[in-house]
């Protein structure tokens, strides 16, 4: 399945942050929306980085008071691995596994068009296996229409 097909069927807004947003504001967005990462966009909507719950946890473990004064730009990852809508979802999953990351922003014409998580890849794979299993069971039982 291509990323663009997956995103088309998803119909979920990508929650984003800004570089100047405080870490406390970012944490509130993560918790409120039950998500684990925020793509970070500049004032023109261009992807500048990504900040995750793990980035925040690491900063808290270093100094559990100083993190409150940090902004998203202090913690966000700026050397990003991105995907494009024409990438295969399986390829995106392989890139995540190889690079030990949980989210890949999907970018087209310098604009964020989606975000794919490792959970999205796993769910898509499970759905594909369930469809294949159903066809095989129908074939074995003689209910296959072909």
Tell me the domain boundaries of the chain: 3-141
CA distance 130 to 94: 21
- Residue 26 contacts residue 41 (beta carbons within 8 Å): no
What average pLDDT does the chain have? 89
Inter-CA distances, 112 with 84, 134, 135, 136, Å: 10, 36, 36, 39
Inter-CA distances, 68 with 21, 25, 81, Å: 11, 10, 28
Q: pLDDT tens across 87-99, in order?
A: 999 999 999 999 9
CA distance 113 to 91: 18
CATH of 3-141, one of 3.30.70.20, 3.30.230.10, 3.10.580.10, 3.40.1380.20: 3.10.580.10
Can you list the alpha helix ranges (DSSP code H) found in the chain?
Answer: 3-10, 23-33, 53-62, 72-75, 89-99, 118-141
- Residue 113 contacts residue 107 (beta carbons within 8 Å): yes
This prediction's pTM: 0.82
CA distance 88 to 4: 9
Q: pLDDT tens across 101-132, in order?
A: 999 999 999 899 999 999 888 777 666 666 66
**Which range, 5-9, 48-52, 121-125, 141-145, has the best average confidence (pLDDT)?**
48-52
Mean pLDDT across 14-24: 96
């Amino acid at each position: 399945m291509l990323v663009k097909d997956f995103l088309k069927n998803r119909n979920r807004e990508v929650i984003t942050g800004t570089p100047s947003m405080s870490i406390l504001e970012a944490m509130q967005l993560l918790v409120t929306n039950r998500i684990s990462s925020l793509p970070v966009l500049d004032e023109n909507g261009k992807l500048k980085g990504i900040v995750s719950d793990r980035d925040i946890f690491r900063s808290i473990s270093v100094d559990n008071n100083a993190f409150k004064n940090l902004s998203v730009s202090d913690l966000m990852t700026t050397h990003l691995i991105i995907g494009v809508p024409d990438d295969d979802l399986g390829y995106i999953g392989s890139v995540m596994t190889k690079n030990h990351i949980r989210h890949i922003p999907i970018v087209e014409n310098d604009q964020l068009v989606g975000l794919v998580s490792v959970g999205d890849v796993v769910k898509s794979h499970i759905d594909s296996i369930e469809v294949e299993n159903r066809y095989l069971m129908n074939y074995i039982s003689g209910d296959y229409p072909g």
